[in-house]
Amino acid sequence: MLEYQRTISKPVSLSGKGLHTGGKTTVTFHPSSQNTGILFKRVDIKDAPEIPADIDHVVDNSRDTTIGIGDVHIRQVEHVLAALYGLEIDNCIVEVDGNEPPVGDGSAMPFVEILQKAGFKEQNSPKDFLVINETITFSDKEKGIDMVVFPSDELRITFMVDYQNPALGTQYTSMYSLTDEFVREFAPARTFCFLHEVEVLHDQGLIQGGDLENAVVIVDRELSKNELRDLAARFELNHDDVVLGTNGILGGKELRFYNEPVRHKTLDLIGDLALLGVPLKAHVMAARSGHAAHVSLVKEIRKIYKKKQLTSRYQKTKAHQGALLDINAIERILPHRYPFLLVDKIVDLVPGERVIGIKNVTMNEPYFMGHFPNHPIMPGVLIVEAMAQTGSILILDALDNPEEKVAYFMGVDGVRFRRPVLPGDQLQLEIEQIRLRKNSCKMIGRAYVDNDLVCEAEMMAMIVDR
């Protein structure tokens, strides 16, 4: 069934103290037009600079997820994004009058409740789901982090944590349906941390707004009465509130779920998945991961989305087997035509990284009439040109309006020809992007025949208007 995008019906606001500054901050959610996504605005700064909530604008992920443009940042956006994503809101403007939204109770529930009061409005444009058809993996062996993404007909999450602490130990949770489970089972899960982390962060001038009402603090060392008294003074808390509960939690706070910590980790993952910019249909399995790993995984998934965007934009009919872009799609991207179009199809493309193209060399090539009679060899300069054209597809894919641009190659270095290319050969053209700037690019190209390297070169191009 076709599902349509939605926004909220009216503006709503929520005020409270910021976790790190401790000062009052307000977040206001506004309806937004279809196909605009989630956009943050710093209304406390002149001209209210805008920051798109996508993976390309993540500037820090060490303790939370921070997005920014230039010197303008908004930190700890993951709970706001989780609320929007969990309520399946596609388009919304989020105004913040500081560098962080209010912390609330440390969960996403305060944002969920205010958004539910705003109500939802269905829009005319269909949702652009990213459907995963292949297995994606991410691993960090040093930190013991493993993440795997499988195909699924809707978003499912399985999460496991394993802490060397008796108050936590090993915890596991699964979310089978975002629509049915998010609000009830995951949005209320509060952030948690270990006592030693709290002390370090506070000494660094952070979490000035942190208290026992917006975080679950796990005690990971023995505490004397004097140390409890010092903690109360440090955080300006009532001494009677700072006690060591029998459950290993500072203040003896009761958990909302028996496995609330791992549910909050799942909440954070949902917020970080929102940085894709589109709803995801996949089963994500995560073990011991945090924001940094989530961002790395989202970057890998984003590459698949950009590849599918490229295909749907230029491949108007079903491509031939084994092709990502066939010759018809290539002609929509490149300005070259017969007899100088030297790429027959694109078989793989990782946006911003590499592209693989195919050139079939036949006896019908016009240059064989003179290069050379009775001894046909493909001119080396045309092999380099074929690599350059393949690289142009990688460059132009990174632009918003590639149909209006063309790549002029302004330098070729380190060219080496390893063996002749003859009629009947199939050139596999592999281009790797080294550096991309606003108006120029540097790439390394390699051409193979039957896995044998026949040519390599370092190429530089300038991007200009057609």
CA distance linking residue 387 with residue 224, whole number of Å: 70
Query: Residue 98 has what pLDDT?
Result: 95
Instruction: Answer yes or no: are the C-beta atoms of 171 and 257 closer than 8 Å.
Output: no
Catalytic residue among 20, 283, 291, 294: 291
Domain membership flag for residue 447: yes
Query: CB under 8 Å to 151, separation ≥6 — which residues?
Result: 131, 132, 133, 134, 135, 282, 283
Query: 220 and 343 share a domain?
Result: no
CA distance linking residue 250 with residue 248, whole number of Å: 7
Query: 107 and 165 share a domain?
Result: yes
Backbone angles phi, psi at 430, to 5 degrees: -115, 120
Backbone angles phi, psi at 318, to 5 degrees: -60, 125
A 10 A CB-CB count for 124 gives 8
Name residue, tokens 């060399």. 361
Query: 456 and 357 share a domain?
Result: yes
Query: 183 and 326 share a domain?
Result: no
Query: 159 and 136 share a domain?
Result: yes
Domain membership flag for residue 246: no
The crossing angle, in degrees rounded to 10, of helices 260-273 and 291-314 is: 30
Please calculate the CA angle 164-167-173 and round it to the nearest 5 degrees: 85
- Residue 418 burial (C-beta neighbours within 10 Å; 0-12, 13-18, 19+): middle
CA distance linking residue 248 with residue 263, whole number of Å: 18
What CATH number does residue 387 fall under? Answer: 3.10.129.10
Domain membership flag for residue 402: yes
pLDDT (tens place) for every residue of the chain, 466 residues total: 789 999 999 999 999 999 888 889 999 999 999 999 999 999 999 999 999 999 999 999 888 999 999 999 999 999 999 999 999 999 999 999 999 999 999 999 999 999 999 999 999 999 999 999 999 999 999 999 999 999 999 999 999 999 777 667 899 999 999 999 999 999 999 998 877 776 676 666 666 677 767 888 777 666 666 766 766 666 656 655 565 555 667 766 789 999 999 999 999 999 999 999 999 999 999 999 999 999 999 999 999 998 888 888 888 888 777 889 999 999 988 989 999 999 999 999 988 899 999 999 999 999 999 999 999 999 999 999 999 999 999 887 767 677 778 888 899 999 999 999 999 999 999 999 999 887 889 999 999 999 999 999 999 999 888 7
Domain membership flag for residue 173: yes
**Looking at 288, 309, 330, which one is the last position of a domain?**
309
Query: Residue 313 has what pLDDT?
Result: 82
DSSP string, 409-432: EEEEEEEEE-S---TT-EEEEEEE
- The conformational region for residue 201 under phi > 0 = left, psi -120 to 50 = alpha, else beta, is alpha
Instruction: Answer yes or no: are the C-beta atoms of 285 and 158 closer than 8 Å.
Output: yes
Q: Where are the beta strands (DSSP E) in 259-325?
A: 280-287
Query: Residue 396 has what pLDDT?
Result: 78
Query: 340 and 289 share a domain?
Result: no
Query: 24 and 110 share a domain?
Result: yes
Half-sphere exposure of 44 (CA within 13 A, CB side): 14
Please calculate the CA angle 237-241-245 and round it to the nearest 5 degrees: 135
Query: 448 and 368 share a domain?
Result: yes
DSSP state of 144: T
Catalytic residue among 57, 73, 202, 371: 371
Query: CB under 8 Å to 212, separation ≥6 — which residues?
Result: 237, 241, 242, 250, 251, 253
Is 320 among the catalytic positions? Answer: no
CA distance linking residue 412 with residue 458, whole number of Å: 6
For the chain, the 3-state helix, strand and coil shares in percent, each to the nearest 5, are 25, 35, 40
Domain membership flag for residue 44: yes
Name residue, tokens 């009052």. 24
Query: Residue 202 has which token pair?
Result: 């506070």
Owning domain of residue 321: 315-465
Domain membership flag for residue 368: yes
Domain membership flag for residue 229: yes
Query: Residue 335 has which token pair?
Result: 């300005």
Query: 200 and 158 share a domain?
Result: no
CA distance linking residue 225 with residue 343, whole number of Å: 75
Query: Residue 1 has what pLDDT?
Result: 73
Position 335: which residue type?
P
What CATH number does residue 85 fall under? Answer: 3.30.230.20
Q: What three-state secondary structure class fits 32?
A: coil
Domain membership flag for residue 248: no
Instruction: Answer yes or no: are the C-beta atoms of 336 and 389 closer than 8 Å.
Output: yes
Give the total number of structural domains in the chain: 3
Query: Residue 446 has which token pair?
Result: 């390699």
Instruction: Answer yes or no: are the C-beta atoms of 127 and 59 closer than 8 Å.
Output: no
Query: CB under 8 Å to 179, separation ≥6 — which residues?
Result: 88
For residue 403, what are the CA distances in angstroms to 82, 389, 465? 36, 14, 9
Query: 9 and 108 share a domain?
Result: yes
Q: Where are the beta strands (DSSP E) in 249-334?
A: 280-287
Query: 219 and 352 share a domain?
Result: no
Query: CB under 8 Å to 68, separation ≥6 — which residues?
Result: 51, 57, 59, 74
Instruction: Answer yes or no: are the C-beta atoms of 149 and 297 closer than 8 Å.
Output: yes
Is 79 among the catalytic positions? Answer: no
Instruction: Answer yes or no: are the C-beta atoms of 160 and 328 closer than 8 Å.
Output: no
Query: 408 and 351 share a domain?
Result: yes
Query: Residue 31 has which token pair?
Result: 């309806």
Query: Residue 385 has which token pair?
Result: 């040109």
pTM of the model: 0.84
Q: Of how many residues is the chain composed? A: 466
